[in-house]
Amino acid sequence: MGTIEQPPGIPGVLIEPTDGRSSLEFDDIQHFLMSRPPARAARYEFLTFSSGSGGRAWLSGLIDKVGTAKAVGANVSAARWVTVGFTWNGLRALGLSDASLATFPEEFRQGMAARADILGITGTNDPNHWVGGLANANLHAIVILFARDVAERERCREEHKKHLKECAGVELLSTLDLEAIPPFDYAHEHFGYRDRLSQPVIEGTGVEPTPGSGPALKAGEFFLGYPDEEGPPASLPQPQALSRNGSYVAYLRMEEHVGAFRDFLQQHGKTPEEQEWVAAKLMGRWRSGAPLVLTPEKDDPELGADYSRNNDFNFATMDPHGYGCPLGSHIRRMNPRDTAANMNRRKMIRRGGTYGPELPEGAPDDGVERGIAAFVGCASLVRQFEFAMNVWANDPNFHELGNERDPIFGTQDGSYDLTIPKRPIRKKIRGIPAFTTIRGGAYFFLPGIKALHYLVNEGKGG
């Protein structure tokens, strides 16, 4: 998660291998989870279909705009990148047969709002408080637009508005505009943490994992129809023409309470150095991105910005007791590395960006909503995304901690703690406040291009 903008030279930009060894269908897979284009603005549009034929007409007119992994990888001068996804209700509204609808996994059929308590999305995060109509059963589709700049986004907004006007029976439920926040030379979010330091790499994409990121993972962990880390694909939604090259994404609109976060740092650190230390212990990295495992005592911004080193560490042998990186810190929960089982079955690809204006350092909280609106991409929501939320983010007894949740991302109500291992005696911060609130979320299926055509044609006879 983090800003939208992608500084040049960061590993992760897709280059399709030219040796023909890859079995991935780059011309059919949507680019979204494959590559990260250099966008500084974005817009998410949430749609509902009151008419199946209207929805199909709308989709039919949009397919050519959807960026494939092949097109996005090849065209470095593009100015906008379009992705489209559907909820299960949306697939039904488009006219997909009941037989096919029944083959989608239970968690996707239910949708995120129905499973909020499983995810720990409770209290002030509860779907009853969500905005933008995302908890409603008539949320059917999302169009994700990433644009090189705000002007290009505005141009595309107008273009899509015209297209919507031509398609009766397709209405906007809500929209969200996103923009990168300054400084623009590195990816970071509103709390000031450098972002995108640890992302899985997919076998056959030509992207090399950064040191410490582990080997590239089988494509089936993220795209349906390919072998995954345990073998050939199984239990795919039917027909294959619909599921092949598709992925699931979990969308989360997460408000960041920057004022509360800064107050907390001031409350627990007397000097700016102490405050940085507290911020680092919550995350497991200094805000520069430098990992506490590698530099536990002082920040090292050069290390934080160096992709050949900033992810090159483990926990089990390099920091088993958490003296550097606390056992309950954010990065230790969301990517336990060598301290959890079956890690290759739990990896997720994150996309998204920041929304809302930056809150300048020293300015009082202005009450304006700001945060991260992000997507977690995977092949199994229950095994990958829901596991991370349920066990890693919100299990109070993670690593035998007893009464803690992810201090940044977990569901907090002031009743959980954070233990900071320290010699001679640990420091325990009691009553961690909520620095974030989930304001909306949904599960979408991102079909491959052929599957989009299938959806356009499928409902016609019905």
Binding site for another protein (CB under 8 A): 105-107, 115, 117-118, 230-232, 234-235, 269-271, 273-274, 277, 296-297, 323-324, 341-342, 345, 382-383, 386-387, 390-391, 395, 397, 400, 402-403, 422-428
Cα separation, 429 vs 90, in Å, equals: 45
What's the min distance (Å) between Cβ of 233 and another protein?
9
**8-state DSSP, 419:** E
Please list, residue by residue across 137-172, b when 16 or more beta carbons sit within 10 angstroms of its beta carbon and e when fewer do: eebbbbbbbbbbbeebbeebeeebeebbeebebbee
What's the min distance (Å) between Cβ of 39 and another protein?
33
Cα separation, 141 vs 158, in Å, equals: 19
What's the min distance (Å) between Cβ of 51 and another protein?
34
> Cα–Cα distances in Å, from 108 out to 50, 112, 114?
21, 8, 10
Which lies closer to another protein via its Cβ, residue 266 or residue 342?
342
Which lies closer to another protein via its Cβ, residue 21 or residue 423?
423
What's the min distance (Å) between Cβ of 422 and another protein?
6
What's the min distance (Å) between Cβ of 256 and another protein?
24
Cα separation, 358 vs 335, in Å, equals: 27
Which lies closer to another protein via its Cβ, residue 118 or residue 172?
118
Which lies closer to another protein via its Cβ, residue 311 or residue 394?
394
Which lies closer to another protein via its Cβ, residue 232 or residue 364?
232
Cα separation, 290 vs 292, in Å, equals: 7
Half-sphere exposure of 312 (CA within 13 A, CB side): 11
Cα separation, 267 vs 330, in Å, equals: 20
What's the min distance (Å) between Cβ of 283 and another protein?
15
What's the min distance (Å) between Cβ of 262 and another protein?
17
SS3 state of residue 371: strand
What is 200-263 written as a DSSP string? --BTTS-PPPPTTS-SPBPGGGTSTTS-BTTBS--S--SSHHHHTT-EEEEEEEEEE-HHHHHH
Which lies closer to another protein via its Cβ, residue 60 or residue 403?
403
Which lies closer to another protein via its Cβ, residue 11 or residue 421?
421
